[in-house]
Amino acid sequence: MQDKAQVIALFRRNTPAAFDPAEELDFEHYLNHEREDYFVFETEGHIVGAGGINYFLEENTARIAWDMIDPDRHGQGIGKKLTEYRLERIHQHPGITQIVVRTSQLAYAFYEKMGFQLESIEKDHWAKNYHLYLMKMTIIKPQ
């Protein structure tokens, strides 16, 4: 991934406000071994947002993964545009009927606004005081 260094720097800018420092190794592993589709949002040649999609075709599911926006750019609509772009990409897959996002208490309200519904909460999943909020969206395909 040619943008890896900038994306890691973006992750660090969001630590510890959105991610526990210990998650950086998990993120690097994701980028090196689990990344399927990963998109960056650039402004004036600088990456100010990033986020991925993983596909679980046997389960008819796509998962939005490792979203992050430059903290200085929060509230500018970048996260919304990046998420809408990925939702459009997912909708192009005919077999996908469900989208999952695994986020934290720090970002779940954003995904609620995007149409995701909270399924469950697991305290201290990512790290101490970083809880897992499992959220889902069902895709209704025209028949």
Question: Residue 89 CB: number of other CB atoms within 10 A?
Answer: 14
Query: How far is the CA of 73 from the CAs of 1, 10, 35, 77, in angstroms?
Result: 23, 11, 24, 8
Range of the domain at 57: 4-138
- Answer yes or no: is 143 within a domain: no
Q: Is residue 120 part of a domain?
A: yes
Residue 128 lies in a domain: yes
- Look at residue 48 in the predicted model and tell me its pLDDT: 97
Number of domains within the chain: 1
Neighbours of 31 (CB within 10 A): 19
pLDDT (0 to 100) of residue 143? 62
Is residue 90 a part of any domain in this protein?
yes
Per the listing, tokens 């996260």 go with: 79
Residue 2's pLDDT is 83
CATH at 45: 3.40.630.30
Q: With contact defined as beta carbons under 8 Å apart, do 36 and 55 qualify? A: yes
Structure-block tokens of residue 134 = 């499992």
Q: Mean pLDDT for each 10-residue chunk of the chain (143 residues)?
A: 91 95 95 95 94 96 97 95 96 93 95 96 93 94 65
What Å distances lie between residue 96 and 61, 86, 93, 114, CA to CA?
5, 13, 6, 18
Cα separation, 2 vs 112, in Å, equals: 32
Quickly tell me which residue has 């630590």 as its tokens: 15
